[in-house]
Amino acid sequence: MGTGAACGAKSLDEGFNNLLRNKLGRHSTELLAARHLPEILRHFENLKCEFDPYSEDCESEYHIPMVAARGDIPGIDLRDNYLRLDRKDPELIYANNLRAEIQRVFDPVFDKILRLNQEQLDLVKAKNQGSVKVCIPGEKYLISSDFVSRRGF
């Protein structure tokens, strides 16, 4: 129908990169150097495929390798060359909201995908005045993830 926008795996990677830069603060330039970033993103690739905050088996925290680390930085939860990211965001717990740090990367991307899908379905339904068959392209984790199906796909 001629509508759409860029979203999906690349947007997740960008969101993860932003999360890391925000969490690492002044340490981000050193720890996210170009020669170390590919290993960090490979680790996130696995996390993308497994992430499902609705599952009882979902990890309560994630450990991201920071090979450039030269010691612990307790203020940002960096210990033994691993950055810890909580499933539950400590800043939001007090607001009675248990969204995860990692989930903040996923939510805007999936919200955008759902909005775009709905817009296209509405256009096709209006044009055809009938039922519609849908094929949604995407990486394997976008289609097979329980998290995705529970979000409305």
Write out the chain's pLDDT in tens, 153 residues.
456 677 778 889 999 999 999 999 999 998 998 888 888 999 899 888 877 777 777 777 888 999 888 899 988 899 999 998 876 544 544 433 334 788 888 888 888 888 888 888 888 788 877 666 666 555 554 545 565 566 555
Note whether residue 2 is domain-resident.
Answer: no
**Domain ranges, residue 76:** 9-151
User: pLDDT at position 37, please?
Assistant: 87
User: pLDDT at position 95, please?
Assistant: 39
User: pLDDT at position 105, please?
Assistant: 87
Nearest residue to 105 (alpha-carbon basis) of 14, 40, 4, 7: 14
User: pLDDT at position 141, please?
Assistant: 47
Note whether residue 3 is domain-resident.
Answer: no
User: CA quadruple 85, 86, 87, 92: dihedral positive or negative?
Assistant: negative
Question: Into how many domains does the chain fold?
Answer: 1
8 Å CB contact between 102 and 85: yes
Note whether residue 1 is domain-resident.
Answer: no
Note whether residue 67 is domain-resident.
Answer: yes
Q: Which residue is listed with tokens 């509405």?
A: 122
User: pLDDT at position 66, please?
Assistant: 92
